[in-house]
Amino acid sequence: MSDKKTVIAFDLYGTLLSTESIAKELARHFGNEKAQSVATLWRRYQLEYTFRMNSMLLYKPFSQITNTSLRHAISEHKLALSEADIESAMEAYNSLSAFPDALIGLGYLAKDSETNAYVFSNGTNEMVSSSVQSSPELSSFKGLFKELITVDDVKHYKPHPKVYEHLVREVRGGVEKKDCENVWLVSGNPFDVVGARHAGLMTCWVDRSKGGWNDTLGDLASGGPHLVVEGVDAAVREIKRVSKD
């Protein structure tokens, strides 16, 4: 039976959790400056690999992609880590720090019986579950999420249309246009927002850098975000406001 409450599906990496916070683990080996640079490149290749694999019709678990992209970033910096240290970095990736605004926003939802919250991620089921359970701050909200939805079941990565169909099917029980009504994606990743909008979802982009929406690929697809905010807290407030209109 379809649940017609407002649905908010939160992207995990880069929206609720800061991928840059992994630099603290890397700094133990490389120092702060190089650690920041490696962390940035790690994230860049992590995403790039998923895009390339979508185009190649190839799927490997996100844990493998995260491991391989770390090795790529380290190699490009002419640095090295032992296998044990790589394993430690991978474990640390499952306990990333949450953004403060995300915690405030989730706090709003904890008092809201009219909205169902989900996590929707490229991560494997194990990675996402571990991240929600192990994040020092996010773990206190683990009971808030109705479900942790990942791309593992469809073997594609965002922004492939099948992953958004999977999301809607999980939260509404179908994939018709009516099933997408009042289903929101909240993400800090423009590629995710454009993909979700093209698939028929409502979208809210978290612009923490306050640089404004500059991704014009939406002009060639179905448009950019319905809402632009500066934090997850504002996303929750705005979605609740427009959902009542």
Average pLDDT over residues 26-32: 96
Which of 29, 63, 93 finishes a domain? 93
Residues 37 and 138 in one domain: no
Residues 168 and 210 in one domain: yes
Q: Is residue 157 part of a domain?
A: yes
pLDDT band at residue 94 under the 50/70/90 scheme: very high
Q: Is residue 1 part of a domain?
A: no
Residues 71 and 111 in one domain: no
Residues 82 and 125 in one domain: no
Q: Tokens 């939160």, residue? A: 10
Task: Single out the residue of 97, 96, 112, 100 nearest to residue 236, CA to CA.
Answer: 112
Residues 120 and 34 in one domain: no
Which of 59, 93, 127 finishes a domain? 93
Q: Is residue 172 part of a domain?
A: yes
Average pLDDT over residues 119-139: 94
Residues 30 and 147 in one domain: no
Concatenating the DSSP letter of every residue in the chain gives: ----SEEEEEPTBTTTB-GGGGHHHHHHHH-HHHHHHHHHHHHHHHHHHHHHHHHHT----HHHHHHHHHHHHHHHTT----HHHHHHHHHHHTTPPBPHHHHHHHHHHHT-TTEEEEEEESS-HHHHHHHHHHSTTGGGGTTTEEEEEEGGGTT--TT-HHHHHHHHHHHHS--SGGGGTTEEEEES-HHHHHHHHHTT-EEEEE-TT------GGGGGTT-S-SEEESSHHHHHHHHHHHHH-
pLDDT in tens, 173-212: 998 889 999 999 999 999 999 999 999 999 999 999 999 9
Q: Is residue 41 part of a domain?
A: yes
Q: Is residue 71 part of a domain?
A: yes
Strand 183-187 versus strand 115-121 pairing type: unpaired
Element (H, E) at 9: strand 6-10
Query: Total domain count for the chain?
Result: 2
pLDDT at 44 over 90: yes
CB contact at 8 A, 72 and 45: yes
Other CB atoms within 10 A of residue 15 CB? 27
pLDDT at 162 over 60: yes
Residue 135's pLDDT is 87
Which of 61, 93, 125 finishes a domain? 93
Domain that holds residue 157: 6-17+96-244
Residue 1's pLDDT is 35
Average pLDDT over residues 19-44: 97
Residues 87 and 146 in one domain: no
Polymer length of the chain: 245
Q: Is residue 35 part of a domain?
A: yes
Residues 117 and 135 in one domain: yes
Q: Is residue 206 part of a domain?
A: yes
Question: What CATH number does the domain containing 79 carry?
Answer: 1.10.150.240
Residue 168's pLDDT is 98
Residues 130 and 88 in one domain: no
